Amino acid sequence: LPTWRIPNLRNLLIGLLERVRIFLRRVGGIILAMMIVIWALSSFPAPPADFTGAAIDYSYAGRLGHLIQPLFAPIGFGWEICIALIPGMAAREVAVGALGTVYSLQGGDEEVATQLGTLIGAQWSLATALSLLAWYVFAPQCLATLAVVKRETQSWRYPLLMAVYLFAMAYLASLVTYQTAVWLGLG
């Protein structure tokens, strides 16, 4: 066996940069396309001038949120959470920003964060908050993850199986969490 040596830092960095370039070439276009679609769903159509609610409520994403809310009612999610789940599929952090938009919060970052925390504390039950946490434990990290699996496997089979499995697990975990919390009087 050859003797063990510490790798040359320059060669290590060159190899790392090459792998990053390959990865970005493979999935960068897919990630960009998904982000554009999610942005369009959250932004269009523009609300009429006399519309007083949040713009996202009038958008396609907002309409979809209202449409799917009955499906999510057993796990304690209101339409606001359903709307936040849609752009939240791009990245989990986006869901927090979407909630700020849904609740029409304005101000600086810290001010909006404080307002959102207060609003969520007043409007959501503990059971709903625990259910949302359980959802995000099992739900797919982001759609880009599924795109990478599709690109790497050269097939839609595995990303679709992965999505169905993870969303089913997320729903089941949220259902058990929410119903148990309600049964314990936390809802």
Is the pLDDT higher at 115 or at 169?
A: 169
Per-residue pLDDT band at 112 (split at 50, 70, 90)? confident
Residue 59, helix vs strand vs coil: coil
CA distances from 122 to 39, 98, 125, 129 (A): 29, 18, 8, 11
State the pLDDT at residue 125. 96
CB 34 within 8 A of CB 144: yes
Task: Check whether 6 has a pLDDT greater than 90.
Answer: no
Task: Check whether 31 has a pLDDT greater than 70.
Answer: no
Q: In the 3-class helix/strand/coil scheme, how is 72-120 assigned residue by residue?
A: HHHHCCCHHHHHHHHHHCCCHHHHHHHHHHHCCCCCCHHHHHHHHHHHH
Is the pLDDT higher at 108 or at 164?
A: 164
18: burial class by Cβ within 10 Å (0-12, 13-18, 19+)? Answer: exposed
Least confident of 10-24, 64-78, 99-113, 151-165: 99-113
State the pLDDT at residue 163. 93
Per-residue pLDDT band at 159 (split at 50, 70, 90)? very high
| Mean pLDDT for the stretch of residues 143-158 | 90
DSSP code at position 156 = S
| Mean pLDDT for the stretch of residues 59-71 | 90
CA distance 141 to 18: 25
State the pLDDT at residue 162. 95
CB 46 within 8 A of CB 55: yes
Which percentage of the chain shows pLDDT scores above 90? 45
CB 138 within 8 A of CB 91: no
State the pLDDT at residue 167. 95
